[in-house]
Amino acid sequence: MLVAVATVAGSRVVAAADDTEPVWAVSSPVRAGDPVRSADLVATPTRIGSDDAGVSAYLSAGSAPPAGMYTRDLAAGELVPTTAVGESTAGRGVEVPLAVEPGDAPADLAPGDLVDVWAVPSGTSAPPAVPPRAAQVLSGVEVVAVAGPAGGLGATGLQVLLRIVSSPDELGRPLARLSAGSVVLVRVGG
Partner residues linked to 141 by β-bridges? 115
Determine contact, residues 120/131, Cβ cutoff 8 Å: no
Please give the domain boundaries of the chain with CATH numbers for all domains.
Answer: 2-86 (3.90.1210), 94-188 (no CATH)
Give me the count of residues in the chain. 190
Q: Could you report the per-residue pLDDT of 32-73, keeping only the tens digit for each? A: 777 888 899 999 998 876 555 566 788 888 888 888 888 778
| Residues in contact with 189: Cβ distance below 8 Å, sequence separation at least 6, in sequence order | 114, 140
Between 19-23, 55-59, 85-89, 95-99, the lowest mean confidence (pLDDT) is in: 85-89
Q: Give the sign of the dihedral formed by CA 90, CA 93, CA 99, CA 100.
A: negative
pTM (whole model) above 0.85: no
**Where are the alpha helices (H) located in the chain, listed in sequence order?**
2-17, 52-56, 172-179
> Which one-letter DSSP state was computed for residue 172?
H
Backbone angles phi, psi at 116, to 5 degrees: -95, 140
